[in-house]
Amino acid sequence: MSNYYWCHGPNCHTYKTQDRVRGSKGSKVLRTRKVKQNTDRSWYNPNNFYNYFCSNGCYNEFANAHVQQIIRIAPRTEPLETPIDDPTKEKHTTGYGHTYYTHEINLKGVDTTE
Ligand SMILES: [Zn+2]
């Protein structure tokens, strides 16, 4: 297995940065960036999207270009719900006499049904 992927950003090869300039004099190009894969490192996560994109911008452009296909992978036709206890309202007063409220929300569990 190679130790890099090409960035999947559809416009990666169009950005004018020095590290993208490749080729010999007279036939230079801007080339898609390589994304190094640190597969020998303990922290390497094969499911991290940064393995496939050189930047957030390239990821966003990919996601925007392919959002219809992406959501068809796991369509959300109904909302998920997380059971909670009845929220409690708590009154706080600062040393300056300002009053504010917080709402305590405690989970009963998380719906993991997909
Ligand atoms: Zn890129």
- 3-class DSSP assignment, residue 1: coil
What does the block give as tokens for 53?
Answer: 């994109």
| Per-residue model confidence as pLDDT tens digits over 3-37 | 999 999 999 999 999 999 999 999 999 999 999 99
| Per-residue model confidence as pLDDT tens digits over 55-100 | 999 999 999 999 999 999 999 999 999 899 999 999 999 999 999 9
Say how many Å lie between the CA of residue 3 and the centre of ligand 1: 16
d(CA 20, CA 32): 7
Say how many Å lie between the CA of residue 7 and the centre of ligand 1: 5
As a residue count, the chain comes to 114
Say how many Å lie between the CA of residue 2 and the centre of ligand 1: 18
For 9, left (φ over 0), alpha (ψ -120 to 50), or beta? beta
pTM attached to this predicted model: 0.73
Q: What domain count does the chain have?
A: 1
* Segments forming the whole domain that contains residue 29: 4-73
